[in-house]
Structure 1
Amino acid sequence: MQLITTILCGGAGSRLWPVSRELHPKPFIRLADGQSLLQKAFLRAAQLPGVAEILTVTNRDLLFKTQDEFREVNATKLQTSFVLEPCGRNTAAAIAIAALQVARRHGPDALMLVLAADHLISEQHAFGEAVLKASELAATGKLVTFGIQPDSAETGYGYIEAKGNEVLRFVEKPSLEKAQEYLASGRFLWNSGIFCFSAGTMLQQMKLHCPEILAATAACEELSRAAEGDGFSQLELDAESFKNVPDVSIDYAVMEKSDQIAVVPCSIGWSDIGSWTALGNLSEPDNSGNRIQGDALVHNTHNCIIQSTDRLIGTVGVDDLIIIDTPDAVLVADKSSAQDVKHIYAQLKATGHEAHKLHRTVHRPWGTYTVLEEGNGFKIKRIEVKPGASLSLQMHHHRSEHWIVVRGMAKVVNGDLELFVNTNESTYIPAGHKHRLENPGILSLVMIEVQSGAYLGEDDIVRFEDIYGRA
């Protein structure tokens, strides 16, 4: 049985700030074993029998980062395809465009398995058995959701009241009293946000229950740019028409209204990793209940979650805290308020603070840059360019740049000149000069960039040519 897995890689993961940012959202967080949640979702899908392709719906700014993540783990060269959203429009729009693509390329009877990129499933064998049951139900024309057998009274999840595979009703996130009642009854399951259906059945049900979403998505698809290659396809959605698609969840648009719903109850070690408490619980505590990742010294400290990437953290006489240190931001929160971290993220976004969007190290299609220091009229960056990669041919109105190569060799366009800059050599680029940086070697190119000028924002850039389609 052929199965097309769709991974939905969106959202901000605001409750996991400061590690999760708009351009480094929750799916890209690396766990203790070195793999990201997104990579684990890919491997989870790739290990299922009959999976012919993995289709990922994500923001277009995350495409190259997503490809890098997949490249690290796609040892079997499984077919990958991408739908690139210019902005988030919720899960109904994402599933609609995925179903349209699958029906067009594989036929309406093709079965789809929809996974979230930021969930964790620890029981792969049990998950495979649940997918098999769901596939059998989906082949009969059912829209199948996966219901997780609850082991606690959680108020952060939606619930499904079920009788066998029959869905009796969907319930929104309950109060604690209601959640305890649901757990005691044995009739309720957590709503996991995992689905299985044929592309044709989903499109037929969307036409019946949310025709405006399907029509707007189909209209956007017609205006969008498609590209295909060996083992690869990509659809970049038209930005203007995609704004017209209603922002609605698939649960509200279809699942709560359709009479063709089925549920597969399962125990698969599922978690949506929705807070620092949930993420911290993935690691073993020390004798004082502390879960520590990175360099930390603790004294008279109990039941804390501590994470640091660069600096030493010292704690004395504190209990039940979350302490997350990144190069440009520190979070300190009471564990009982873990869900409220999203309010800090919302304030940063509302004020336009870059800490909601970017880390100090920023990923680009060609490599990365890290802001080392900045002040009035200057900024210093460490730039690393992948072998064979090239920045765009570009120009800045307000800043000049001084490039010093510290490892490798750079091929540089600087105005009318084209030159090679070796290790310990440099070149100066005045404001207003067209310029481009390329790594012609087989090793990473590392250089220091010193910017000077009255305005040093990342939006001071005019692109003339770009191999990544950003011009």
Structure 2
Amino acid sequence: MIPVILSGGSGSRLWPLSRKQHPKPFLKLMGSHTLFQQTVMRLACDGMEAPVILCNQQHRFMIHEQLCAIDAGAQLLVLEPFARNTAPAVAMVALKLLAEGRDEILVVSPADHVIQNSTALRNTLELARPAAEAGELVLFGIPAEQAEPGFGYIRCRDEFLCNGMQRVEHFVEKPDMVTAQAFVDCGDYYWNSGIFMFRASRYLDELRVQSPAIHESCIRAFEGCSLSETTLRIAASTYSACPDRSIDHALMESTRSACLIPLDAGWSDAGSWSALWSEQDKDEHGNLLLGDVVVDDSRDCLVHASSKLVTLLGLEDLVVVETRDAVMIAHKDRLQDVRHLVNELDSEQRGEVETLPRVFRPWGSCDSLDRGERHQVKHLTLKPGASLSLQRHHHRAEHWIVVSGTAQVTCGETTFLLSENQSTYIPEAEVHCLSNPGKIPLELIEVQSGSYLGEDDVERLGDVPIAATDQATTPTTARIVAIK
């Protein structure tokens, strides 16, 4: 079986911690690993191959970093130029495998859910496998124990298959609270976990029947893909024609081959602050406190502090989430409406919807520390052997101060080394490059000053390989200031 891990979505209900460029799968919401890492680890077991990971092309650097952090790898990385939902995404994976003559069982799983009992999940996967091998389209249902209007619901027929599976009768997408409570009281409904199992060819055959437009557009998009050894890049020009539909809507709701197996493994979609509050241990006053938080005479609150001290006094039933660039305060009864707040911010083109202060790049990461009208301060981290492109800026100068590691700097015609507590100045419009020739990460502070500090003020002139240390001039021959 091949795990197909879908790492998409923006997790807008978890704003301000989750952003479009740093979405929910890459956050440490429960435990010491991110949700993406937890997904990879629980699907790394006997009978499973290395995963296929599907993500937005802008997230590939975070995927690489997080896989390396848990000493894991992927057999294939499928990069989408933009989201087209799960039905086209899984079709692209199936087409790639079949093109290699591999018609294997796919276990499709979101990368942003919590499953507390990995053993129970693996046992359920083994129970479902014979049905998938026989051509069934299997989905995993969570017994609906409480009314959740934000979930999808599934009802099964009194038609039993092997290993306790039932034929699916119908789907209901996100009912109102009254209807959701009626489903729970009935006892015949399951939550849709978003986890599926089927053979690659069987999925495509049924997709051709139930959603021919998706099937045809995905074939055209696959023909336009570019492929390296372990990466499949989907071209925007052809992928844009794919209808935006989920597996549920495109296939499962209409096929007669859908069957459900119950999954009792401590599942949560971790999709909102209310879900996180209900899943974790609280103090004696019902508070869930994460980070540097002090509360007094407050009850049933969730407080998440990322960068500074947060205090509460005399409050109840509130959620307070602090990041370096935003603070959200909401009543617990309104948490399903956080996405509406995010939509409003998005319509105003607020940058706080797109990115966190720290962003990842192929060479490392960049953390914004401070910004004014004519200055900006950043913390750069370059991986060993990494290098920024040869470039220049027409409206700003830069000061680089090495915090740790060794920097190789090209400034104009001169190349030199900087070590800890040394710095240099890059004049406006000067051609320059920064590299890390060492074996440990390079950390430095970059101070920008000028009339325009936008990210588009960069003229890239090419890549410069890291020179050998003995070829660089000594620090005393360059414009270097020791920082006392």
Fold equivalence (TM over 0.5): yes
Letter in 1 for 2:404: R
Once the two structures are overlaid, the 10-residue window that deviates more, 13-22 or 456-465, is 456-465
CA positional deviation for 1:298 = 1.1
Q: 1:46, 1:78 within 8 Å by CA — same for their partners in 2?
A: no
Equivalent position of 2:43 in the other structure: 45
Q: Quick one: distance in 2 between partners of 1:283 and 1:181?
A: 27
Give the greater-gyration-radius structure (CA). Answer: 2
Tell me which moved more, 300-309 or 132-141: 132-141
Q: 1:358 aligns with which of 342, 355, 358?
A: 355
Q: Which residue of 1 aligns with 2:460?
A: 463
| Corresponding position: 1:84 with 2:85 | no
Deviates further, 280-289 or 332-341: 280-289
The within-5 A match list for 1:54-453 is 54-74=51-71, 77=72, 79-108=74-103, 110-163=104-157, 164=160, 165-228=166-229, 233-453=230-450
> Relative to structure 2, which stretch is displaced further, 308-317 or 326-335?
308-317
- Paired with 2:426 and 2:406, the residues of 1 have a C-alpha distance of 17
Q: Please say if residues 289 and 302 of structure 1, whose CA atoms lie closer than 8 Å, have aligned partners that are also in contact.
A: yes
Partners in 2 of 1:287 and 1:144 — Cα distance? 42
Alpha carbons 1:65, 1:365 under 8 Å: kept: no
How many aligned residue pairs are there? 457
Instruction: Out of 418-427 and 441-450, give the one that drifted further.
Output: 418-427
Q: Mark the CA change 1:221 to 1:396 in structure 2 (over 3 Å): closer, same or farther.
A: farther
- Contact residue 57 and residue 84 of structure 1 kept, 8 A: yes
- SS of 1:380 mapped into structure 2: strand
For residues 242 and 70 of structure 1, the distance between their equivalents in structure 2, rounded to whole angstroms, comes to 27
How far off is 1:327 after superposition? 0.9
- Aligned partner of 1:20 among 15, 18, 21: 18
Shift of 1:69: 0.8
TM-score normalised by the chain length of structure 1:
0.93
Counterpart CA distance in 2 for 1:334 and 1:106 is 54
Deviations 1:187-234 (A, max 9, x none): 211111110000000111111121221222222222222111xxxx11
CA contact (8 A) 1:52 1:78 kept: no
2:476 corresponding residue in structure 1: none
For residue 274 of structure 1, report the CA deviation from its aligned partner: 1.4
Distance 1:269 1:96 in 2: 29
Partners of 1:239 and 1:464 in 2: CA distance: 26
Amino acid at match of 1:191: N
8 Å contact kept, 1:52–1:79:
no
Q: Give the Cα separation in 2 of the matches to 1:10 and 1:79.
A: 16
Judged with a 3 Å threshold, the aligned counterparts in structure 2 of structure 1 residues 400 and 253 are, in CA distance, closer, same or farther, namely same
Alignment-derived partner of residue 29 in structure 2: 31
> Is the 8 Å Cα contact of residues 408 and 437 (structure 2) preserved in structure 1?
yes
1:430 Cα deviation (Å)?
A: 2.9
Task: Tell me if the contact between 1:155 and 1:173 (Cα under 8 Å) persists in the aligned partners.
Answer: yes
Indicate the SS of the match to 2:279.
coil
The code of the aligned residue for 1:9 comes to: S
Matched AA of 1:145: L
Say whether residues 1:11 and 2:6 are aligned partners: no
- 1:125-160 deviation digits (Å, cap 9, x = unpaired): 221121112221110111111111111122111111
Deviates most, 86-95 or 317-326:
86-95
Gaps of 5+ in 2: 161-165, 465-484
Give me the CA root mean square deviation: 1.6
Measured after TM superposition, the shift of residue 94 of structure 1 is: 0.9
- Determine helix, strand or coil for the equivalent of 1:30: coil
Moved more, 381-390 or 20-29: 381-390
**Is the alpha carbon distance of 1:289 and 1:266 closer, same or farther for their aligned partners in structure 2, counting shifts above 3 Å?**
same
